[in-house]
């Protein structure tokens, strides 16, 4: 039984690594295998952690920084921009096939059933448009504030196109300075954004599938920018979520390790709203420096800390692992699907 053998020959080591690779692949996490941290964790220690990885996917926090599930402020508005960009791409489909921008008028959240009807976002009667603009889609989601005269939801780039960062900043300002019921820009219920969709992770995956399908059937040289902007906003969301979560993760890691394991920080740039620097834990560099300094069991201790942090009593942290997995899978799947197109 080489899987639990602490004295591992080369043949056994190869089997451990292959079995771990297969286990991760079976739950859609084969990309974790490429993470630098796992390449120098002792195989015997790694073998004892595989069951835990299978259970909660905790190492996802290393696959793309560390991302919080709770939406908030700028990041929450970026996710609304991402929805609007998907809504514009869905407009390329025949009307009967469109699903984004539909809202259930009477939802049974416990049963995950729409007992009312699914209604499409409708633009103002005097606009002459058949599709909603960004502000109208925000109202369609619910709990959106009224924009004051002279203000605007959308920020434009130099070419007059919607700029995701400027629009998210406008969105955050409008929410945070209004008397709206959703000043923190919390996650909207998926059934207000997409037909037959009830869970947030399901929503992320279905949005991606819809956009990728449209790429295969509707992408042209003239409209390819729609997908490029959609992908760029998704990347911005991941960084913004990491920045929101960073302070909590850093504090928890400092409390756990103290001076015994110095933490390396990863620079996440400047917060577009506050202008303040952002950072999170750089686990790869932390583990590498611990190895250089001869700190024993650092790799296993890091993995166990992440296990405790993302599977403990804090529901936000537990849900975090699921959301980061969804965004990572979305990015990987988009690359794979579009290469085949």
Residue ranges of domains in the chain: 1-56, 70-341
Burial of 244 (0-12, 13-18, 19+ CB in 10 A): buried
pLDDT at 51: 47
pLDDT at 160: 95
The DSSP string of 308-341 is HHHHSS-HHHHHHHHHHHHHHHHHHHHHHHHHT-
pLDDT at 341: 62
Q: Give the 3-state secondary structure of residue 33.
A: helix
pLDDT at 182: 66
pLDDT at 336: 80
Q: Give the 3-state secondary structure of residue 139.
A: helix
**Cβ-proximal residues to 61 (8 Å cutoff; 6+ apart), any chain:** 67, 249, 283, 306, 309, 310, 320, 321, 324
Query: Could you read off the pLDDT tens digit of each residue along the chain, which spans 341 residues?
Result: 443 333 344 454 455 445 444 444 433 334 333 333 333 344 444 545 444 444 434 344 343 333 333 345 898 999 999 999 999 999 999 999 999 999 999 999 999 999 999 999 999 999 999 999 999 999 999 989 999 889 999 999 999 999 999 999 999 999 988 876 667 788 899 999 999 999 999 999 999 999 999 999 999 999 999 999 999 999 999 888 888 888 989 999 999 999 999 999 999 999 998 899 999 999 999 999 999 999 999 999 999 998 888 877 777 777 766 777 788 889 888 888 787 66
pLDDT at 79: 95
């Amino acid at each position: 039984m080489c899987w639990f053998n602490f004295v591992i020959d080369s043949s056994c080591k190869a089997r451990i690594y292959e079995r771990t690779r297969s286990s991760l692949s079976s739950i859609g996490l084969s990309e974790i295998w490429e993470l630098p941290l796992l390449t120098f964790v002792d195989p015997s220690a790694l073998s004892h952690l595989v069951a835990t990885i299978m259970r909660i996917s905790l190492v996802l926090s290393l696959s793309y920084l560390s991302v919080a599930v709770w939406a908030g402020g700028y990041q929450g508005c970026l996710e609304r921009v991402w929805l609007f960009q998907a809504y514009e791409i869905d407009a390329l489909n025949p009307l009967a096939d469109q699903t984004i921008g539909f809202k259930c008028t009477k939802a049974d959240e416990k049963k995950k059933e729409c007992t009312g009807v699914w209604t499409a976002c409708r633009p103002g009667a005097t606009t002459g448009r058949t599709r909603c603009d960004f502000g109208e889609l925000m109202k369609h989601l619910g709990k959106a504030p009224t924009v004051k005269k002279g203000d605007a939801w959308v920020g434009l780039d130099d070419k007059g196109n919607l700029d995701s960062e400027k629009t998210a900043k406008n969105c955050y300002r409008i929410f945070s300075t209004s008397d709206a019921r959703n000043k923190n820009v919390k996650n909207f219920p998926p059934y207000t954004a997409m037909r037959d969709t009830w869970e947030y992770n399901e929503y992320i995956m279905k949005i991606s599938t819809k956009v990728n399908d449209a790429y295969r059937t509707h992408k042209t040289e003239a409209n390819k920018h729609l997908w490029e902007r959609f992908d760029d906003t998704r990347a911005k969301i991941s960084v913004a979520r990491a920045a929101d979560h960073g302070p909590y993760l850093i504090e928890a890691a400092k409390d756990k390790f103290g001076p015994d394991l110095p933490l390396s920080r990863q620079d996440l740039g400047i917060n577009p709203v506050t202008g303040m620097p952002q950072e999170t834990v750089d686990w790869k560099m932390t583990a590498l420096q611990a190895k250089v300094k001869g700190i024993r069991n650092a790799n296993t201790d890091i993995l166990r800390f992440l296990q405790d942090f993302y599977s403990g009593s804090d529901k936000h942290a537990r849900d975090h692992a699921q959301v980061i997995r969804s965004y990572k899978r979305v990015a990987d799947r988009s690359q794979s699907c579009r290469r085949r197109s």
